[in-house]
Structure 1
Amino acid sequence: MPVTIFTSLLMTIIFQIAYTYKWWTIQEQIVPWGFMIDVSFAYGIFTVGTFWIFSYTSHNFILYVIVNFIADSFMAYIVLPLLGVLGIAKYENISPTQYLFVMFALSFIIYGYHQWQKKIFVDN
């Protein structure tokens, strides 16, 4: 599914912007350059989550928006603060609400890309 590759690219860009503006700090990394990008998140859970959300909701835009809002809210208000408590990563110059806005806006870009891909790759 091309959407998952596009999502990984977008998350790489988001992490580079976040590193530049110090939106958050990654304190525990699994690769040497992990202080700039959380590999397990950008190429793991976020990519897999996008794949499954698209698999089950891409046929219904309203359902897609609702599921994304719930998933992004869960990440912004529960998972990332928990990572701060565990000493893995913490918010710096971005609030949970701003993070939610960035990720939720990203879901619309991803959906638009998906719709464009559906139009140019027609099954014969």
Structure 2
Amino acid sequence: MPNIIRIIQLILPWISIIFLPKKSFKLYLPVSLFASLLVTGMCLLAVPYKWWVVKGGWKVKLLNDGSFILGPFLVGTLWIFHLTFGNLKRYLGLNLIMDILFSFPLSYLFQKLRLFKLVNFRPKHIFFSFITFALVIYGYQLLIKRIK
């Protein structure tokens, strides 16, 4: 069952890309990749600090983290920037909603589905990490826009 969830989690968001304008994809891909890099760093730090564990060893953890980062996180970041960039209130509001959903009900659901188990990290830590990332990547996109 977890492998099916991982595959769906990876593929389903990419299907939505057909509805994203090509210009937005090109414009927001760098910030989405940067955001994905931040989450990858968090996932790497999760190992020595035992923030969460994935049953099945490092290969399964890699599949788990990769399907989330390259699926809903990367594609979700593209969509959030497409829908909100230029309007900080709307950006923060949408991020707040998405981060609450992932941090609380979805993290509980994913734990019930045995994708991972939080150990030294709590849903509130996920929430505050993602909100911090949202602020950092918005600034990064502003910088990219200013340079261009």
> Could you tell me how far apart the structure 1 residues matched to 2:125 and 2:115 are?
20
| Per-residue CA distance 1:21-64 (angstroms, 9 max, x = gap) | 111112368xx634256100111110000000000001200110
Q: Higher helix proportion, which one? A: 2
Gaps of 5+ in 2: 1-28
> Could you tell me how far apart the structure 2 residues matched to 1:35 and 1:59 are?
36
Question: How does the TM-score come out when normalised to structure 1?
Answer: 0.88
Are 2:97 and 1:95 equivalent residues in the alignment?
no
2:68 pairs, out of 16, 37, 41, with: 41
Q: Which amino acid in structure 1 is aligned with residue 144 of structure 2?
A: Q
Query: Offset of 1:119 from its aligned partner?
Result: 0.5
Q: Which residue of 1 aligns with 2:143?
A: 116
Query: Offset of 1:81 from its aligned partner?
Result: 0.7
Query: Offset of 1:10 from its aligned partner?
Result: 1.1
Q: Which amino acid in structure 1 is aligned with residue 124 of structure 2?
A: T
> Could you tell me how far apart the structure 1 residues matched to 2:143 and 2:121 are?
31
Matched-pair contact (CA < 8 Å) for 1:27–1:89: yes
Residues 63 and 92 from structure 1, CA distance in 2 versus in 1: closer, same or farther, beyond 3 angstroms? same
Q: Which amino acid in structure 1 is aligned with residue 34 of structure 2?
A: F
1:13 pairs, out of 33, 37, 41, with: 41
| Per-residue CA distance 1:84-105 (angstroms, 9 max, x = gap) | 1111112110111111001111
Question: How does the TM-score come out when normalised to structure 2?
Answer: 0.75
| Aligned sequence identity (%) | 34
> Could you tell me how far apart the structure 1 residues matched to 2:142 and 2:81 are?
11
Q: Which amino acid in structure 2 is aligned with residue 97 of structure 1?
A: K
